[in-house]
Amino acid sequence: SVKGKERGEIEIKIEFGGGLHLLFSQQARHVVHVPAHVPDSSPSKPVDMRYLVKYLKSDLLSERIEMFGEGDGVRPGILVLINDADWELEGELDYELKDGDEVVFISTLHGG
Amino acid sequence: SVKGKERGEIEIKIEFGGGLHLLFSQQARHVVHVPAHVPDSSPSKPVDMRYLVKYLKSDLLSERIEMFGEGDGVRPGILVLINDADWELEGELDYELKDGDEVVFISTLHGG
Amino acid sequence: MRPLSLDEYKRYGRQMIQSEWGLPGQLKLKRATVAVVGAGGLGCPVLQYLAGAGVGTIRIVDHDEVDVSNLHRQVLHTTDRVGRNKAESAAMAIEALNPHVKAVSIPKAVHNNNAIELLSGIDILIDCTDRPETRYLLSDTAVRLDIPLVSGAAIASSGQWAVYGGVMNGKRRACYRCMWPAVIGDGGGRCSDVGVWGPVTGMVGCGMAGEAIKEILGHGDGYMHMMRLGTPLRSIKLRSQRPTCSCAGGEAPEIRVGECSTKTTTAVERVSPKELHAIQDSVTIVDT
Amino acid sequence: MRPLSLDEYKRYGRQMIQSEWGLPGQLKLKRATVAVVGAGGLGCPVLQYLAGAGVGTIRIVDHDEVDVSNLHRQVLHTTDRVGRNKAESAAMAIEALNPHVKAVSIPKAVHNNNAIELLSGIDILIDCTDRPETRYLLSDTAVRLDIPLVSGAAIASSGQWAVYGGVMNGKRRACYRCMWPAVIGDGGGRCSDVGVWGPVTGMVGCGMAGEAIKEILGHGDGYMHMMRLGTPLRSIKLRSQRPTCSCAGGEAPEIRVGECSTKTTTAVERVSPKELHAIQDSVTIVDT
Ligand SMILES: [Zn+2]
Ligand SMILES: [Zn+2]
């Protein structure tokens, strides 16, 4: 998203590696702005990875959702890093995003 | 420094590249704790790169200060990065350090 | 009797003075047997630097023949040797570099039914192949042989490499399946389909050779390194073994990938990114 | 008339299908003349991948002879060619890889008084040498010839590489002097003194070949890449030209480094880290 960050939004850096950028307009690096709190949540809930993954599928993915998403989450075989740490250590979909976080999605390559 | 961070201290990650680690106990990565404010400064002044460089010379350097320091600063030929940005863009010695900052000192290699 | 000949001392002096190395390290290398599967874009640099470093015995497994379209990246072969088996061509090259290395060329494809036989007795397995089926097969074989796997891949301007399996700091590393329980990414694209930059296979292969040597010297670590031309390099720490993975079961897992090989894209010679997507559909799932 | 022969189409197909490449890119490579100074640990992989990719004319400058102690990392040479000039040995190897490349071997050392003569007429200069004096000399020469310089270095288990000078996005890049106005770091250590891992020179050389090709294709960028075995890879953006550097003056700077060469450490054959420090004292300052 090219527009500036609005009040109540946070900025997340996204990177796609291992060929996944092919699914996102062939662009490896993106900066997205998402609401700091999940819209219409009551009580108000900080935005989490579950929201971000959903947002990526609906707003950023340019092709073939089945290559990226599975259920609420991402497909097995996609390694997710939050600020360079494996998201398994961060609570996966329940991780609460902070302004400036960097999220990296990587799959494996096979050519040689 | 291995002890925990005390009240009023901030933690700075230090890395030495390009052979500079030879001057710092042959260790490339260090974590140091420095006071958040320059001791005995009045009015109280946030700690800056000038203080850190002085601290590295007095407390961390294991050999031959003339290879690292020159005046208040570092020798020409040492590239300094603060959170991955060239410190020329960050105010050099006047940059005010924040808890969690990463400072990298790099010199060039010549072998081949 | 000297542990190394005078020629070997001279030849390896510049590496033996490294702190992680020394005479004990050089002797570990000399006594080691490694297998390099694939003598192509990744295998060529791996073989050059393992042979240069003095790994004692190197098995080279490749059933393919040198083609002129390989030579932009498969730099161990020559125009004269187009048409020859790649394992044999590579063996000739590394023997010319270092006569102290025993190069054993195996001009065969690795399959379910010969993997254990071809690869038993080795200390490290190095995967320089280009198909997901073979990659899982080699990982399962390394798990069964209880040895580390150095695995790298390169396609277009991207590459990545890591050590899988084996033990680091007393903890079992993730195997290839632990990290990649399913295939996505380049979706089974092969360099013959999608193409690749020669220097990218070169960088990945050199990185793999470095990991293999560190592993033999007893200084292995747990990073996956990633590169893409024109972007910053990146490294991440890999997790340790996943308890739900087949490699963590009491019994060694059955090798169960080869059966997918009919789904590969051998008929496609060159593809556009658009066509690539269509191909991906047919080969994505090799293991679910 | 075809711009490329059928053999060339076949040979380069896997790279020509890359998006940055295509037929126009391949023709740019074919028409390019590059000079590689130093056919040692860095020069060997650089030469392999530039020749493989089809760079039209490659000048190889090296006055040194192949020694058995080189072969662990200088993988383009062979045991048979020990004692031969390295530029000639390297030329033989890359011609065997790709007969479409014109390899011009220049068995000479580069000095103040012959640098311009040996290197004029080239499109890119690639520094694969191992002494600070030569590095500054080559940077000054590239500034004077107004061409980009691809410069890399490797020592022990560390390496780094970058493109210096030339123009990127309409802005002048930093030259080697802009970035490194004085010598510190490995303090003039050379691989023959301090030693180096073969795969490290390999990775850096492959990285340099990649940068050189991107530069020829018109896709150069501005990172310096750094590696050290066992640690994460790192890349940083280099600054642009420093206004106070000699390269930014109206006139091309005089070349003024070679006179320091008497201070190098040629007599030392192997050193411990302790001794290294002593050596550093004598060679640190080449340009203040
Ligand atoms: Zn596993
Ligand atoms: Zn300059």
Relative to the alpha carbon of C239, which ligand is closest? 1
Task: Give me D127's structure tokens.
Answer: 């520094």
Of D180, D191, D196, the CB nearest to B108: D180
Judged against a pLDDT cut of 90, whether residue C72 lies above it is answered with yes
Judged against a pLDDT cut of 80, whether residue C238 lies above it is answered with yes
Task: Give D15-37 pLDDT, tens digit per residue.
Answer: 999 988 999 999 999 999 999 99
Q: How confident is the model at residue C73 (pLDDT cuts 50, 70, 90)?
A: very high
Q: Hey, are the CB atoms on B86 and D237 less than 8 Å from each other?
A: yes
Give residues with Cβ within 8 angstroms of C168, minimum separation 6: C220, C221, C222
On average, the pLDDT of chain B sits at 88
Task: Give D247-277 pLDDT, tens digit per residue.
Answer: 987 554 454 443 333 233 222 223 233 333 3
**The pLDDT of residue A6:** 79
Judged against a pLDDT cut of 60, whether residue C270 lies above it is answered with no
**The pLDDT of residue C190:** 60
Q: For chain A, give the percent of residues with pLDDT over 70.
A: 96
Q: How far is the CA of D185 from the centre of ligand 2 (A)?
A: 19
Q: Hey, are the CB atoms on C239 and A19 less than 8 Å from each other?
A: no
| Cα dihedral value C117, C119, C121, C124, nearest 10 | -160
Between C287 and C166, the more confident residue is C166
**The pLDDT of residue D98:** 98
Judged against a pLDDT cut of 90, whether residue B94 lies above it is answered with yes
**The pLDDT of residue C220:** 93
What is the pLDDT averaged over residues A54-73?
86
**The pLDDT of residue D251:** 53
Give the neighbours of chain C: at least 3 Cβ pairs within 8 Å. Answer: A, D
Task: Give me C173's structure tokens.
Answer: 């590393």
**The pLDDT of residue B3:** 60
Task: Give D126-173 pLDDT, tens digit per residue.
Answer: 999 998 889 999 999 999 999 999 999 999 999 999 999 999 988 999
Task: Give me C262's structure tokens.
Answer: 């009919």
Judged against a pLDDT cut of 90, whether residue C143 lies above it is answered with yes
Interface mutation target, options B25, B89, B110, chain D, most CBs of D under 10 Å:
B110
On average, the pLDDT of chain C sits at 85
**The pLDDT of residue A63:** 76
Task: Give A32-43 pLDDT, tens digit per residue.
Answer: 999 999 988 888
Task: Give C151-195 pLDDT, tens digit per residue.
Answer: 999 999 999 999 999 999 889 999 999 998 877 655 445 666 778
Q: How confident is the model at residue A5 (pLDDT cuts 50, 70, 90)?
A: confident
**The pLDDT of residue D282:** 31
Put simply, whether C172 touches D (Cβ < 8 Å) is no
C163 forms bridges with which residues in the sheet?
C150
Q: For chain C, give the percent of residues with pLDDT over 90.
A: 72
Q: How confident is the model at residue C265 (pLDDT cuts 50, 70, 90)?
A: very low
Residue in this structure with the two tokens 């009580």, named with its chain if needed: A43
Q: Hey, are the CB atoms on C202 and D49 less than 8 Å from each other?
A: yes
Task: Give D63-86 pLDDT, tens digit per residue.
Answer: 999 999 999 999 999 999 999 999
**The pLDDT of residue D254:** 52
- Buried b or exposed e, range C27-46, using 16+ CB within 10 angstroms: ebbbebebbbbbbbbbbbbb
Amino acid in position C279: I
Q: How confident is the model at residue C279 (pLDDT cuts 50, 70, 90)?
A: very low
Relative to the alpha carbon of C245, which ligand is closest? 1
Q: How far apart are CA D65 and CA D20, in angstroms?
A: 38
Number of helices followed by number of strands (H, E) in chain B? 1, 7
Q: For chain C, give the percent of residues with pLDDT over 70.
A: 83
C138 and C147 in contact (C-beta within 8 Å)?
Answer: no
| Range in A9-13, C226-230, C280-284, D123-127 with the lowest mean pLDDT | C280-284
Task: Give D233-254 pLDDT, tens digit per residue.
Answer: 999 988 889 888 989 875 544 5
Judged against a pLDDT cut of 80, whether residue C3 lies above it is answered with yes
Q: Which residues of C touch A104 (CB under 8 A)?
A: 234
**The pLDDT of residue C84:** 98
**Helix C43-53 to helix D198-217 angle, to the nearest 10 degrees?**
150
Nearest to B2 by CA among B23, B25, B22: B25
Q: Which residues of B touch D135 (CB under 8 A)?
A: 110
The CA distances from residue D48 to D54, D105, D149, D164, in Å, are 10, 14, 18, 22
Put simply, whether C6 touches D (Cβ < 8 Å) is no
Q: How far apart are CA D158 and CA C110, in angstroms?
A: 35
Chains C and D make contact, 3+ CB pairs within 8 Å: yes
Q: Hey, are the CB atoms on B77 and D183 less than 8 Å from each other?
A: yes
Cα D105 from chain centroid? 15
C107 and D85 in contact (C-beta within 8 Å)?
Answer: no
Relative to the alpha carbon of C166, which ligand is closest? 1
Q: Hey, are the CB atoms on B86 and D201 less than 8 Å from each other?
A: no
Task: Give A80-98 pLDDT, tens digit per residue.
Answer: 999 888 898 889 999 999 9
Put simply, whether B106 touches D (Cβ < 8 Å) is yes
Task: Give C38-57 pLDDT, tens digit per residue.
Answer: 999 999 999 999 999 999 99
The CA distances from residue C9 to C57, C120, C209, D86, D252, in Å, are 18, 30, 21, 21, 47
Q: Hey, are the CB atoms on D14 and C191 less than 8 Å from each other?
A: yes
The three-point CA angle C265-C225-C192 to 5° equals: 20
| Range in B50-54, C27-31, C243-247 with the lowest mean pLDDT | C243-247
Q: How far is the CA of C63 from the centre of ligand 1 (A)?
A: 28
Judged against a pLDDT cut of 80, whether residue B29 lies above it is answered with yes
Judged against a pLDDT cut of 60, whether residue C276 lies above it is answered with no
The tally of CA atoms less than 13 A away on the side-chain side of residue A42 is 1
Q: For chain D, give the percent of residues with pLDDT over 90.
A: 72
**The pLDDT of residue C85:** 98
**The pLDDT of residue C251:** 53
Q: How far apart are CA A24 and CA C107, in angstroms?
A: 41
Q: How far apart are CA D156 and CA D201, in angstroms?
A: 9
Q: How far apart are CA D144 and CA D141, in angstroms?
A: 5
Q: How far apart are CA A8 and CA C46, in angstroms?
A: 52
Judged against a pLDDT cut of 90, whether residue B76 lies above it is answered with no
Residue in this structure with the two tokens 């040895």, named with its chain if needed: C147
Q: How far apart are CA D66 and CA D41, in angstroms?
A: 11
The tally of CA atoms less than 13 A away on the side-chain side of residue C114 is 9
Q: What is the DSSP string of C198-262?
A: HHHHHHHHHHHHHHHHHHHHT----EEEEEETTS--EEEEPPB--TTSGGGSSSPPPP--GGGGG
